[in-house]
Every structure is written in C-alpha cells, then in structure tokens.
C-alpha cells in the first residue's frame, strides 16, 4: 500500500509550453532524495486538462522509466469521458505505473449512479490498482461516501483521494471503507487531521515546494504523533493557503520557479501568477523554511 507524502507533481514546461523533460527528471530525483512516498503524475497539478493524450501518456512513461521502481508512480488517468479514462488507464498500466488516480468526470455532472457506473467500467476494463478522486471544487460533481463504499468492494479499486476538505466527511469515509481501501487526503490544510484519523497519506500540492517537510509531517501523522505533526503543520499552514491564491497550479509553479526548480512555463488558459500575490507566496515560503 502506498502511504505518506504523495506529491501531486507539476509538469514543468518551457516558455513555449512544451514539456521540460530535463526539469522533470530533476524533480523526480529531488523527491526520491527528500523522502517523498510516491509520485502523482499528470493530475490536476500536472495540468492534465491541457496535455494532449499522447503527451499525457508520454509524461507517465517518462516518470516510470526515470524512477525505475525506486518509489511508486500514481498516474492520473481520469477523464470526463469513460472511454477516454479507460484508454488513459490502460496506457498507464502498460507503461508500468503502480496505480492510477481517476477523478470524477468533470463538466458533464453525472448522477451518483452514473459515477458508480463510470468507475466500475474503468475498474472492470483495466486490471491495475485504481484510486478514486473526489474534488468537487474543481469538477462540479460530488461523489457521495455511500457510492465510494459500494465501489470499495471492487478488487481493482484500492483507495480514494478525498479533496473535499471536510474533516467529518473524511472520518466517515474511513469508518465506512477504511478497512477495504486506503483513504488519502487531497487537501493540504486538513491533511494532518485526516491522517491522524486513520488516513494513509496526503496527495499534496505543497510537497512540490516543501518535500522534506511534507514527508516528515505525513510520517508523523500516519504514526499517530499529533504533537510532532502539529509542529510541522504549523510551519506549512501559510504555504498551504498561499498556494491557492489563484487556481492551482499557478501559485505552486511560480513558487517553484522562485526556488530555481523549474522555469515559469505554464499553458493557457492558465497564466503566470499575478504580481499582487508575489509577496504573499514569498513570505509563505520563507515561513516554511524553504
């Protein structure tokens, strides 16, 4: 089972929007050295919405080959069309990804039964471990915990990323199906509480800029060390907020550029962080010691 800090990795880009493969390789090495538990490739933070299908698959294959089994690769393969989600999931499995992360279908707003049918179809079609991903703030669809519990009985569904930020709801998820699947946080501000309640880790935006600190926080929280985890969480709290001053991944890519980790490349319709937020993000980085 994957546990701990799972970085929701950015996809570094050149000024023209092309993937910066050299920077991507450096980021992978940085996370391995920093103690990150797994790489989350081509999710929301990785700009999956603006990568073409061939690029999407190429980034996943690059991550698998570069990491070479040293830590797991969690490949983002969700789509709002079930056939496309199956295609991406199959490609990730063929590339050697350890598991796939599937977001709820965005924009078309399926019913709860439609969500069940969608995820069941992907799980039936591709024999690879799959993690559900509920992020209603981005998708305009919210999957009920009851549906998650039904899906948890499928042998290929092994986890859920809960990015609702609702602590009570997260605890209910763990109570309902925490013995069958892993429950991961997808919300940095509330991740510590979910892990202390039995969550297995955090699929984290903040880990991009503070990988060591997030790895330590997750290790302490999943071990039940509230005092130790809280001390690190307090340092990261301003950063968790600053990285969402504009839509993710705008702030985190700008912050990483300030750290010298990547260039400022980002794809339209997203653009570089507005200057009015620069001081706030810099201050949060300094407060976190990064």
* Span 95-118, average pLDDT: 97
CATH code matching the domain that covers 4-223, chosen among 3.40.50.300, 3.30.565.10, 1.20.1560.10, 3.20.20.70? 3.20.20.70
Confirm whether 253 is a catalytic residue.
no
One of 61, 106, 116, 161 is an active-site residue; which one?
161
Residue 1 — very low, low, confident or very high, per pLDDT cuts 50/70/90? Answer: confident
Cα–Cα distance measured from residue 214 to residue 196, given in angstroms and rounded to the nearest whole number: 14
- HEC-encoded secondary structure of 113-162: HHHHHHHHHHHHHCCCCEEEEECHHHHCCCCCHHHHHHHCCCCCEEEEEE
Cα–Cα distance measured from residue 267 to residue 282, given in angstroms and rounded to the nearest whole number: 22
**Mind listing the pLDDT tens digit for each residue in 236-269?**
999 999 999 999 999 999 999 999 999 999 999 9
Of the candidates 124, 131, 22, 20, the one whose C-alpha atom is nearest the C-alpha of residue 76 is 131
**Mind listing the pLDDT tens digit for each residue in 262-289?**
999 999 999 999 999 999 999 999 999 9
Domain ranges (residues) in the chain: 4-223
One of 133, 184, 200, 253 is an active-site residue; which one?
133
For residue 230, what pLDDT is reported? 98
* Span 45-66, average pLDDT: 97
* Span 126-139, average pLDDT: 97
For residue 184, what pLDDT is reported? 98
Confirm whether 161 is a catalytic residue.
yes
């Amino acid at each position: 089972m994957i546990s701990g800090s799972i970085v929701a990795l950015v996809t570094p880009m050149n000024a023209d929007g092309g993937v910066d493969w050299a920077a991507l390789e450096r980021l992978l090495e940085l996370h391995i050295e920093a103690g990150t538990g797994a790489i989350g490739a081509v999710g929301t933070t990785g700009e999956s919405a603006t990568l073409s299908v061939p690029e999407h698959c190429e980034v996943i294959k690059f991550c698998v080959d570069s990491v070479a089994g040293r830590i797991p690769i969690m490949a983002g393969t969700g789509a709002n069309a079930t056939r496309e989600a199956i295609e991406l999931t199959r490609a990730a499995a063929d590339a050697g990804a350890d598991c796939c992360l599937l977001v709820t279908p965005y924009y078309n707003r399926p019913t709860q039964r439609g969500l069940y049918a969608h995820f069941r179809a992907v799980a039936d079609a591709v024999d690879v471990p799959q993690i559900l991903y509920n992020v209603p703030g981005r998708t305009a669809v919210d999957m009920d915990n009851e549906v998650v519990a039904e899906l948890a009985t499928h042998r290929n569904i092994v986890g859920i990323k809960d990015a609702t930020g609702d602590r009570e709801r997260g605890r209910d998820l763990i109570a309902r199906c925490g013995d069958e699947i892993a429950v991961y946080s997808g919300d940095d501000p509330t991740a510590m509480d979910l892990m202390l309640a039995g969550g297995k880790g955090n699929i984290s935006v903040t880990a991009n800029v503070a990988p060591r600190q997030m790895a330590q926080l997750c290790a302490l929280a999943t071990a039940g060390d509230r005092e130790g985890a809280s001390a690190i969480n307090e340092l990261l709290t301003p950063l968790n907020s600053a990285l969402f001053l504009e839509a993710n991944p705008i702030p985190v890519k700008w912050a990483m550029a300030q750290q010298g980790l990547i260039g400022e490349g980002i794809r339209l319709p997203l653009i570089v962080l507005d200057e009015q937020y620069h001081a706030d993000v810099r201050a949060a980085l300094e407060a976190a010691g990064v």
